[in-house]
């Protein structure tokens, strides 16, 4: 996840969220990319695409991962992934 001059490397199983002048522009897939920061482009963050396990104290476990196609939704719409997934699991458990 290094950035030197206008070059950017995105690691495997990760995507980078690119913004231009503070507005979402595109998602960089793993690999090398050009990032013209002098034209207002910047990386606002990185999102792991790895499967993660979350242990929830209600006799259940759930696994989750961000999907590359929905990376902008996962980055901008989910503020605290773990708490939101826990709330969903608790709601689902109470409904069953």
Residue 50 belongs to domain spanning: 3-95
What is the pTM assigned to this prediction?
Answer: 0.60
Beta bridge partners of 48: 14
- pLDDT for the residue numbered 60: 59
Q: What is the pLDDT of residues 19-48, one digit of tens each?
A: 999 999 999 999 999 998 888 899 999 999
Which run of H or E residues covers position 94? Answer: helix 81-95
**CB-neighbour burial class of residue 53 (10 A; exposed 0-12, middle 13-18, buried 19+):** exposed
Number of folded domains in the chain? 1
């Amino acid at each position: 996840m290094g950035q030197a001059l206008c070059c950017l490397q995105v690691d495997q199983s990760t995507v980078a969220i690119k913004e231009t002048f503070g507005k979402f522009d595109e998602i960089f897939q793993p690999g090398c990319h050009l990032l013209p920061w002098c034209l207002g482009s910047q990386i606002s963050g990185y999102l792991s695409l790895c499967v993660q396990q979350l242990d929830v104290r209600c006799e259940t476990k759930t696994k989750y991962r961000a999907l590359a196609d929905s990376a902008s939704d996962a980055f901008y719409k989910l503020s605290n992934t773990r708490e939101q997934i826990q709330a969903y699991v608790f709601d689902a458990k109470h409904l069953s």
